[in-house]
Amino acid sequence: MIEQAEIRKDPIYLLTVGYLLALFIVAAMSLCIHVVIGKVVDEQNNPAVSISARQAQISQKIVFYAIQYAEDKDPALKMQMHEAIQLMRRSHESLIKGDKALNLPLQLSENIERLYFSLPYNLDKKVKDFLQNAETFLETGSEKINKQNPEYIYLVKAVKGSLSTALDAATLEYEAESELRIGKLQSYQKMALFVIFATLLAEASLIFKPLVTRVHNYAERLKRMAMTDGLTGIDNSRCFMQKCMKELKRSRRHNQPLCVAILDLDYFKKINDKYGHLVGDEVLRVFAQIVHNSMRVEDEFARIGGEEFTILLPCTNLEGAKIIAERIRNIISSTPICYDAGKEIYITASIGVAEVDPRISDFDVAMNAADKALYQAKENGRNQVVYSNSYISENNNIVKLEQGKRG
């Protein structure tokens, strides 16, 4: 139970569930829209509207055949009139009782039912009376048929008056109800679209945005880890060399001096052996903090390995670099490092300084010059600054070293 509760609190689990839920909602709403569009198309082709409108046309055909038959007594006209009567009757029955084959509703709406069976239209009675008179007219012998027959007179008056009005009213009501249903379906469609857009917006803001932020933060964290020394929190060698190449290009472009210094803690191995690695690590951290606080804002500081550090000094010639290096060396040697509830250790550092030749393409050349100067400082007894008084070439020509003034 505890494991399940922890899983449900897991951000990845919650994001996955939220994403799947959003996909389900979008899929469901898309299906809903598909169904709604199908129903809208069906309503636009509503058979009740077309059949109701056709009833008026059939009634006019019946009267037309009656007029022609009264004049010509043609049996073909009688047959056509009979077929029209049967079609109108079948259509009327389908409209009031429903027909699944024709996609007509089995239940009439309140307005349609009132129109068929109540005043003022009472359409059901009018249609049946009309059809009854039409059939009686056909059953009359041809020798007795004329335009004075009461059935004939009824048919002509009905199609010009109350029947036609009632049929038109029915057609208009069918159209109005169909348009109302289409309007409702379109409202459902808009609602489904709104839900889709709201879901996508929520998905973007609650899932993808946090996910992108999380990935971005993770990438930044990895980048910092790749560019930062884990123990001291300052730049590592990779990050430092990238900054050096940028500064070298800027120095070359603006014709400004550039120097680099390498610092190495003196007798650091003895500190590790005597006090242990935990104290040794604390010494490195405090040493990095001391140097960082002693630098200028524009200087770059990094740990390049073990107890070895380096400083890039932009817009600084060799004389200026000497002064800065000596000041840092003095601060290091005069600042105690506290450990184990108030105990103190004093440390010193040797520093090698070199001026960077802006013509070089590989900054390792400048680092080699500073490293040679550092080596000379170690050889001379440590706790001092040694600097190169000339550029080192890219083909590793030997440089002349001049010992700096020892503090």
Domain map of the chain by residue range? 13-194, 237-403
Task: Report the pLDDT value the prediction gives residue 187, as an integer from 0 to 100.
Answer: 87
Same topology between domain 13-194 and domain 237-403? no
Task: Report the pLDDT value the prediction gives residue 186, as an integer from 0 to 100.
Answer: 83
Please name the residues in contact with 105: beta carbons below 8 A apart, sequence gap of 6 or more: 48, 98
What is the pTM assigned to this prediction? 0.55
Rounded distance, CA 220 to CA 217, Å? 5
Rounded distance, CA 195 to CA 33, Å? 11
List strands edge to edge, sheet with 349-355.
Answer: 300-305, 308-314, 258-265, 349-355, 385-388, 401-403
Task: Report the pLDDT value the prediction gives residue 390, as an integer from 0 to 100.
Answer: 54
Res. 288: pLDDT tops 60: yes
Res. 132: pLDDT tops 90: yes
Q: How is residue 375 annotated by DSSP?
A: H
Rounded distance, CA 366 to CA 241, Å? 11
Average pLDDT over all residues of the chain: 87
Confidence of residue 398 (pLDDT cuts 50, 70, 90): very low
Closest residue by Cα to residue 317 from 233, 373, 388 = 388
Distance of alpha carbon 359 from the chain centroid: 49
In the block, which residue shows the tokens 């500064």? Answer: 247
Query: Lowest-pLDDT range, 16-25, 51-60, 353-362, 368-377?
Result: 16-25
- Give me the CATH topology for the region 13-194: Four Helix Bundle (Hemerythrin (Met), subunit A) (1.20.120)
Query: Of 43-52, 99-108, 199-208, where does the model show the most confidence?
Result: 99-108
Mean pLDDT of 238-257: 94
Closest residue by Cα to residue 112 from 41, 184, 175, 45 = 175
Give the count of beta carbons closer than 10 Å to the beta carbon of residue 353.
Answer: 28
Q: What class has domain 237-403?
A: alpha beta
Task: Report the pLDDT value the prediction gives residue 304, as an integer from 0 to 100.
Answer: 94
Phi, psi dihedral angles at 377 (to 5 degrees): -65, -40
